[in-house]
Structure 1
Amino acid sequence: MKPFQLALVALCAWLPAAFAQHTGANHREHGAATPSKQAHGPYAGMQERAIKALSEQQLSDLRAGKGMSLALPAELNGYPGPSHALELAEPLKLTAEQKSRTQALFAQMQQEAKSAGEEVIAAEGALDALFKTKAATPGALRTATHNAAVAQGQLRETHLRYHLAMVELLSPEQVATYNRLRGY
């Protein structure tokens, strides 16, 4: 064998081993698993959730009727929410009647949002169950995703509707003050 051929054979034998070592060292440097260990994807651990698409925090927020940023189109476009209006009652100079009506609106919103949140949880649970039980078919999937989207839309509409009600309750000056105090 000629020296050039001998060097080429040695290089071909050495390259895979060198690449494997480099890749392993690179994984260790960046905190990733080495090739001999099990690598984890970004969803690792989520398989233990009761409903895979919902974290414990999301479940808690849905059950509590929290806004979860669902009303941002209203909030950031000059439509105050009842919860924050109550927090700012003093600087907004809410009248006794305005405060009473805002408290009533907030209580109604909470009741509706909790109910709508339970609908979201049920719809997401049904979607999860399709896959958990290996019963997912194109038709069942279409129905389940539609139901989940409708439930989410109804929850969002609930929160947004109460922002509309607050704009009717507050004066334009109070709305402007609300927006300024909230930093918008």
Structure 2
Amino acid sequence: MIYKKILCTLFTITATAAAFAQTDSATTPSAIKTLTLKQYAELQNGPELREMALPATMNGYPMPDDVLQFKKELKLTDLQVKQITEISRYLKQKKVQAGQSMILNEKKLDDLFSKHKIDEGTLNFYGNRYGLYQGEYRNAVLSACINTYNALNPQQTTRFWKLKKP
């Protein structure tokens, strides 16, 4: 009986402490008031790669960083490592660039709305531009998968997917 009371008290204290210790990143303000701190931080680093790459990866076209993780097992040549490293570097550059462009676009939309200087034409321009950044980035991701696939020979590709699946 006493153990139940002690356990209950400890649970209550732990739950209360955890509730006060948490910060809700979904409502924490960021440098742009229309984005949460989490959204802002994610965009600063660029949009997530994995979901953008699904049409390629689900059909046998690997991500460059995934291939580089298995360079010894795949027996990549120095030239292949150089090629795939360059593909990866370019993709990371595009990722950051896309995120920064989206942040600037979001900031501009916020500014236009806050100053009541928005109209349908301006809204269409910035709305479409946001989509353009996403599309350009997705093309870069999918292109990186194609180029990585083309840098490998068929045996390496088969071996990669066997290593990757488990």
TM over 0.5, yes or no? yes
For structure 1, the 5+ residue unaligned runs are 1-43
Q: 2: distance between equivalents of 1:53 and 1:173?
A: 48
Contact 2:28 2:36 in 1 (8 A): no
Q: SS state of the match for residue 134, structure 1?
A: coil
Provide, for residues 15-73 of structure 1, a one-character-per-residue CA deviation record: whole Å limited to 9, x for no partner.
Answer: xxxxxxxxxxxxxxxxxxxxxxxxxxxxx954833335644444434433564332222
Give the Cα separation in 1 of the matches to 2:75 and 2:47: 25
What is the distance in 2 between the residues matched to 1:47 and 1:90? 44
User: Whole-Å Cα distance in 1 between the matches of residues 28 and 124 of structure 2?
Assistant: 23
Residues 73 and 54 (structure 1 numbering): CA distance in 2 closer, same or farther, change over 3 Å? farther
Which one has a bigger Cα radius of gyration?
A: 1
Q: CA deviation at 1:116?
A: 2.6
Provide the aligned length of Structure 1 versus Structure 2. Answer: 142
Q: What is residue 119 of structure 1 aligned with on the other side?
A: 101
TM-score (norm. length: structure 1)? 0.64
Which stretches of structure 1, 4 residues or longer, exceed 4 Å deviation after superposition? 52-55
AA matched with 1:177: R
- Residue number in structure 1 paired with 2:68: 86
Unaligned runs of 5+ in 2: 1-24
CA deviation map 1:117-176 (0-9, x unaligned): 221221222223333333332222111101111011111111111111111101122222
Q: TM-score, normalised by structure 2?
A: 0.70
In 1, the alpha carbon distance for the partners of 2:158 and 2:64 equals 15
How far the C-alpha of 1:82 sits from its partner, in A, is 1.0
1:106 maps to 88
Distance (Å, rounded) in 2 between the aligned partners of 1:130 and 1:141:
9
Answer whether contact 2:30 2:40 (CA < 8 A) is retained.
no
Contact residue 98 and residue 133 of structure 2 kept, 8 A: yes
Q: 1:183 to 1:156 in 2, by over 3 A?
A: same
Task: Give 1:60's match in structure 2, choosing from 11, 36, 41.
Answer: 41
**Which of structures 1 and 2 has the larger relative contact order (alpha carbons within 8 angstroms, sep 6+)?**
2
Query: Alpha-carbon deviation of 1:98?
Result: 1.0
- Show the counterpart of 1:138: 120
Task: For 1:52 and 1:77, locate their aligned partners in 2 and report how far apart those are by CA, in whole Å.
Answer: 39
C-alpha RMSD over aligned residues: 2.7
Q: Larger helix proportion, structure 1 or 2?
A: 2
Q: Distance in 2 between matches of 1:67 and 1:91?
A: 27
CA distance in 2, matches of 1:151, 1:178: 31
Deviates most, 133-142 or 51-60: 51-60
What amino acid does structure 2 have at the position aligned with 1:83?
D
User: Secondary structure at 2:52's aligned position in 1?
Assistant: coil
Partner of residue 147, structure 2: 165
Distance (Å, rounded) in 1 between the aligned partners of 2:59 and 2:34: 29
